Structure 1
Amino acid sequence: MRDPDPSVLRIVDELARQEDETGRASISAVARSLGLAQPNVSRALRVFEKERGVQIVGRSPSGSRLTDDGRAVASAGEPVLEAYRNLSEILAALRRHRSASVRIAASLTVAEYVLPPILLSFRRHRPDIEVSLRMENSEHVLERVRERGADLGFIESFERPRDVHYRTFGHDQLVIVALPGDSRAGGGPLSAEDLSQIALLVRERGSGTREVIDRAIPGGARVAAELPSASAIRTAAATGRAPAAISRLAVAEQLRTGALVELPLDPSVSLARPLKVVWPDGRMHEATALFLQEVLSAGRR
């Protein structure tokens, strides 16, 4: 037998309260008090009485009164209803906390070089909203958003993401960098065919960076080494291990100081990539909507 319906326990509890106050139990008054239709209240009581084999209300031309069994149910139901009220308060508190936080998953490049100023600006405007950030490659970010493990995801991708909403909020440019002494640094622009002959330091498959370089080079990049982050690629490039395909954002300081140089590319080689913010289907919490607005505003500046 299934557990008693809490809505019926509320009806019985209200009947007992009214009977204590007025000396009689009025189903119509209970219906008004609980905001229910009287026929629905009467039907719920009849179903409960039939299923449980007890009579809750004694009905007569002079009115209704709780039976002894009805009194016993009302008394036993009090702690159950109190537990439900406590549960409702806990759930409400969890919703309030949830609505005042934003879970973000972002590709490593976006997390390291694009989001920090946006996060700082948002923190100044809304210190009451907690923002958590998880870094992983674009493919894993999309998986996390689809599974609702993140409220917003940030990826680098040419493809239209499936099963999520998205907006393009900016663009990034990859560059091919090497040590200053690399003979190709002073030569003519490199074509896609030229790049296909050069072993490059690249990110792993599934990352937005790898997607760009593989699209630009016929047959995909020739790999000198696959590394898990822009920082690792930058460090390896600085040792002279091989030229690297990397976001310009990640090597801005090294290009400025001359620690690394950018190899010239033919204009036909496109290494630009769109930056997208994605979110799952369903209602978006206010805090998430506010952070999304901050991101889109930053993209327009």
Structure 2
Amino acid sequence: MSSDSDTGDRVPRAGLGHRVPDLGAMELLLAVARLGSLGRAARELGISQPAASSRVRAVERQLGVALVNRSPTGSTLTDAGALVTEWARRVVESAEAFDAGARALRTRRDSRLRVAASMTIAEYLLPGWLIVLHGRHPDTAVSLFAGNSADVAERVISGGADLGFVEGTDVPNGLDAAVIAHDRLVVVVAPSHRWARRRKPLSAAELSATAFILREQGSGTRQVLDAALAGHGGLAVPLLELASTTALKGATLSGAGPAVLSELAVADELAARRLVEVPVEGIALERVLRAVWPTGHRPTGPARDLLSLTRRPA
């Protein structure tokens, strides 16, 4: 003779909800036992006496036994009521322990924030947001990973970061996103470079034929530039490939060659004339900056608070 588990015809186990009173009803029974009055129990729990009476009657119908003796002088538990109340006490204590444990988990989660950001955002936008966040949540420890947009996406998808910030043309697969800012790429040279005195804008064909100092493959800057020049012959072999914005600026300032960089990253150098922007025509070099998180898992706790800071009106 085969069992249910042998045949796979297991009878579904009924849930406890229709047989076990809810926590509110259990707390009411405990208050009646402690105070000896349904009215006082109702006041302690912040409900009306009719509501309390209705709740007790509902539990009695649910369990099929009388729980409370009502009289003009007060309310007392029946023998069955005393037994049910003792059971209820254990359940309520377990629920309180569960709630305390859940609060501890939230506290532990809220005590740290792991952020991954592309280089431009990490260097030029994130510090200001983190200063404000620290003012609001001084006990939250923040760790920051800075890399290219592809590395940031991978880190967020793998669970290594609670929130990421990327640049580029599209939202990486496996991530949801929110637009936090827009940026523009600019061609820059040292004042000594021959392009520094150029008045005619660079064409797409000239850009395609030029060996630039560039970020590495996987960076948001490189993605946008590759997409912009895809229909114009593509990018020439780079003069240099460097893994940080600071390194690119240093090489360009030294006169090594022209570079394509975020307008955010070179604002100070352009204002001080340490670098010169060369005008471009025929292609769009705008890009979108995004916050990203795993698909279907909206940021919570400090990550949610940081996301809200990035989306404040300018």
- TM-score band by shorter chain is 0.5 to 0.7
Residue number in structure 2 paired with 1:228: 243
Deviation at 1:252, TM superposition (A): 1.7
* Cα gap change, 1:155 to 1:243, in 2 (>3 Å): same
* Cα gap change, 1:259 to 1:196, in 2 (>3 Å): same
Work out the CA distance in 2 between the residues paired with 1:156 and 1:290: 21
Residue number in structure 2 paired with 1:52: none
Aligned pair count?
Answer: 225
Work out the CA distance in 1 between the residues paired with 2:90 and 2:239: 72
Residue number in structure 2 paired with 1:256: 271
Task: Provide Cα deviations, 1:199-241, integer angstroms capped at 9, x if missing partner.
Answer: 1000000000111111122343221111000110111111211
| Aligned residue type for 2:149 | S
2:227 matched to 1:215? Answer: yes
Q: Would you say the 8 A contact 2:188–2:260 is kept in 1?
A: yes
Work out the CA distance in 2 between the residues paired with 1:232 and 1:107: 15
- SS of alignment partner, residue 191 of structure 2: coil
Residue number in structure 2 paired with 1:166: 177
Q: Would you say the 8 A contact 1:178–1:242 is kept in 2?
A: yes
- SS of alignment partner, residue 217 of structure 2: coil
Residue number in structure 2 paired with 1:103: 114
| Aligned residue type for 2:154 | E
* Aligned-residue RMSD, C-alpha: 2.5
2:289 matched to 1:275? Answer: yes
- SS of alignment partner, residue 199 of structure 1: coil
| Aligned residue type for 1:241 | A
| Aligned residue type for 1:209 | T
Work out the CA distance in 2 between the residues paired with 1:219 and 1:166: 31
- SS of alignment partner, residue 290 of structure 1: helix
Work out the CA distance in 2 between the residues paired with 1:126 and 1:99: 9
Unaligned 5+ runs, structure 1: 1-25, 37-84
Percent identity for Structure 1 against Structure 2? 38
Work out the CA distance in 1 between the residues paired with 2:217 and 2:264: 20
Q: Would you say the 8 A contact 2:163–2:299 is kept in 1?
A: no
Q: What does 1:130-149 correspond to in 2, within 5 Å?
A: 130-149=141-160
Work out the CA distance in 1 between the residues paired with 2:224 and 2:171: 14
TM-score (norm: length of structure 1): 0.68
- SS of alignment partner, residue 206 of structure 1: coil
* Cα gap change, 1:278 to 1:148, in 2 (>3 Å): same
Residue number in structure 2 paired with 1:34: 90
Residue number in structure 2 paired with 1:203: 215
Q: Would you say the 8 A contact 1:101–1:288 is kept in 2?
A: no
Which moves more between the two structures, 228-237 or 286-295? 286-295
Work out the CA distance in 1 between the residues paired with 2:289 and 2:297: 22
TM-score (norm: length of structure 2): 0.65
Q: Would you say the 8 A contact 1:107–1:154 is kept in 2?
A: yes
Work out the CA distance in 1 between the residues paired with 2:113 and 2:263: 28
Residue number in structure 2 paired with 1:113: 124
Work out the CA distance in 2 between the residues paired with 1:289 and 1:91: 19
Deviation at 1:108, TM superposition (A): 0.7
Q: Would you say the 8 A contact 1:214–1:220 is kept in 2?
A: yes
| Aligned residue type for 2:311 | L
Residue number in structure 2 paired with 1:65: none
- SS of alignment partner, residue 256 of structure 2: coil
| Aligned residue type for 1:34 | R
